[in-house]
Structure 1
């Protein structure tokens, strides 16, 4: 059994998605185009994926939870590596590494079945 239930994962999704969108301005890296685009794009992707996932927090419930978790895991790895992939690691990297590792952790530590489907 995985320690994060899907209802908690949903709350985390919407919270981290919004925070990642706001992070360039909150954390002072909005002037770096690549870092800002990764943060805002990832935040939007997290919110859209969440809205369409079949779990307690989903609005449309079209994407299976297992698919959502796979996307979270892969996305987490990509966001973690993004400062080096897109060349902004000398300017800023810790927000992307932190959010990426949290996304990866959420993807690997969340159960696959929403309570209403259990």
Structure 2
């Protein structure tokens, strides 16, 4: 069930990316290197990814929304399992729970995103001409 418009997906993704970049200080795990850098790097990846999709809200339309959504699923999965991959799952909950919860959320909103509206936004409108 794809109910989330790609424009809203992009806005959510930008917010999630910015919050991930700030998460080490918001949740108090800036002193745990692996957790801090995982959140920052994945946050930057999400922001850059959202800025380059074919979504109507993206300024640089390079990556088709259909491919972007599956990249989000992969990024969300990496974020969700990162506490165990990078060895910070044994820390306090404020260190690893944000990674798990946000990773699952990224997967969730990616899987309910409409990709057809992004393609429609790129198509030329009837009665318009393009410069040769």
TM over 0.5: yes
Q: Deviations over 1:11-63 (max 9, x none)?
A: 10111010000000010000011000110001000010011111112111010
Please say if 1:8 is aligned against 2:3. no
CA RMSD of aligned residues (A): 1.3
Deviation at 1:71, TM superposition (A): 0.4
Hey, which bits of structure 1, 4+ residues long, moved more than 6 A? none
TM-score by length of 1: 0.95
Task: Decide whether aligned partners of structure 1 residues 32 and 21 sit closer, same or farther in structure 2, where only a CA change above 3 A counts.
Answer: same
Task: Decide whether aligned partners of structure 1 residues 13 and 65 sit closer, same or farther in structure 2, where only a CA change above 3 A counts.
Answer: same
Unaligned runs of 5+ in 2: 122-132
**Number of matched pairs:** 118
Residue equivalent to 1:117: 120
Larger Rg: 2
Residue equivalent to 2:60: 60
Residue equivalent to 2:22: 22
CA distance in 2, matches of 1:57, 1:29: 32
CA distance in 2, matches of 1:116, 1:78: 27
Please say if 1:108 is aligned against 2:97. no
Task: Decide whether aligned partners of structure 1 residues 51 and 115 sit closer, same or farther in structure 2, where only a CA change above 3 A counts.
Answer: closer
Please say if 1:98 is aligned against 2:101. yes
TM-score by length of 2: 0.85
